[in-house]
Amino acid sequence: MPGKRNMKLTEEQREMLAGKYGKGAAMAMRIQCAVGEGFEAERMVPVSRVHISLSAQNADIWFTEKMTEAGAAARVIPTVNPGYCVKYFREKGWLAEEDSINMRRTEAAYTKLGANMTLSCTPYLSDNRPGFGEICAFSETSVTVFANSVLGARTNRESAMSAACAAITGFVPEYGMLLPENRLGTVLVKVSARVDSAIRFAMLGLCGKKIGRGIPVFTGLPDEIDTESLIALGASLNISGSYDMFHIPGVTPEAPDEKAAFGGRAPVRTVELTEQDMNEAFALYSHEPGDSVDYVILGCPHYTCEQVRTAAEFLRGKKARVPVMILTSRTVIAEAEKSGIKEMLEEAGADLIPDTCVDEKYCFQCLKGKNGATDSPKAIYYMENFGMSMAVRDMKTCLSWAVSGKPDSSTPMAAM
């Protein structure tokens, strides 16, 4: 029986499993006990933060509706990932009324669960930022890797459903990344390529096939790395591979130096990453630009305040000829509104779009067959599944193409 064979449950957890806190909580606890047994967890531990990667797709909606129909409610208020901004895409005329149903159902289901409807994939920037050592249940691959690596929080890569269960019960099975011994580096990655900007960190993350499985410890990188670059690295690592965490000695908090990153053990493998490796990895993801640039999508993961400001500065006094869509959080948009940056962007023809993920084909399908540009390899990784074609370049190149309406002929890697 789940929860009895391997896991030692507290009295409260046993009572929850038995239904004292309602049918929904019992269902959630049963699922978590099964997950815990699968991973040979010994016990359940309290969780203080939850982020759910809702996808506005049927299976996730079905699960959350099922839970709330059974009376489940969040004990730990979760933040949630983006779906799509019905208002924006309906006003554009890009979204049919019937295609907005899933998002409306999603919002209703998670609101009923008690979620904080942040609808952003960068909750760690402000809305749901864990401290060092804090136990969390985060889903969304770019969120979990950032929380573990950059903030030193402890989270497994939960699914939307297991994270919802954690929000309902307030507990998570203790296994994997919650245990200190599983957080040590295993693969030494010596980087000789130039990695000095967010786009180049994104490219570095595309080298997952060469890095292989494990927890990479990157050396040869700058001593100071901005948040945007660390976000880009984690996001790309999880499209070219599957990574819970990385270390950068002297930069990430659990790796004051290389020795500490490995816990004093020798790496199981050493990998060298050169400029050529980055070039080859990049070529696997970026599409060739067409004769024209018909749209630009930025903000996968959601743009930070700094990125929004940089885009606005770059576009000052210019006008985009094609749609420029910058995906970001409501929090960043509120900041941009206060500081006048949103207005500056709108004057230049760029929209700040809240609540939206690139992986929502109904919103973007009218751009199918056109030539796009993005600064996110993750965006094209998802969007090519529904027939989109985009060249990957750094933010300023994408924006300058939007202004001219056509790509320049610069060599991608050399120019970025």
- Name the residues that contact ligand F3S, by CB under 6 A: 81-82, 121, 140, 142, 235, 300-302, 327, 357-359, 378, 382
> How near is the Cβ of 80 to ligand F3S at its closest, in Å?
10
Report the residue number, 164 or 191, with the smaller CB distance to ligand F3S: 164
Report the residue number, 60 or 174, with the smaller CB distance to ligand F3S: 60
What does the CA dihedral 230, 235, 239, 240 come to, rounded to 10 degrees? 0
Report the residue number, 64 or 329, with the smaller CB distance to ligand F3S: 329
> How near is the Cβ of 307 to ligand F3S at its closest, in Å?
13
Q: How far is it, in rounded angstroms, from Cα 305 to Cα 303?
A: 7
Instruction: Indicate the length of the chain as a whole number.
Output: 416
Report the residue number, 17 or 164, with the smaller CB distance to ligand F3S: 164
> How near is the Cβ of 273 to ligand F3S at its closest, in Å?
23
Report the residue number, 29 or 235, with the smaller CB distance to ligand F3S: 235
Amino acid at position 393, single letter: R
Q: How far is it, in rounded angstroms, from Cα 255 to Cα 241?
A: 22
Q: How far is it, in rounded angstroms, from Cα 307 to Cα 350?
A: 13
> How near is the Cβ of 69 to ligand F3S at its closest, in Å?
27
Q: Provide the greatest CA pair distance for the chain.
A: 67
Amino acid at position 58, single letter: N
Cα–Cα–Cα angle for 110, 116, 119, rounded to 5 degrees:
80
The candidate with the shortest Cα–Cα distance to 145, out of 301, 304, 328, 374, is 301
Report the residue number, 214 or 354, with the smaller CB distance to ligand F3S: 354
> How near is the Cβ of 235 to ligand F3S at its closest, in Å?
6
> How near is the Cβ of 292 to ligand F3S at its closest, in Å?
25
Report the residue number, 191 or 324, with the smaller CB distance to ligand F3S: 324
- List all residues 6 or more positions away from 243 whose beta carbon is below 8 Å from its beta carbon: 145, 208, 215, 216, 234, 237
Burial-class residue 181 by CB neighbours within 10 Å (0-12, 13-18, 19+).
Answer: exposed
**How many other C-beta atoms lie within 10 A of the C-beta of residue 262?**
21
> How near is the Cβ of 84 to ligand F3S at its closest, in Å?
10
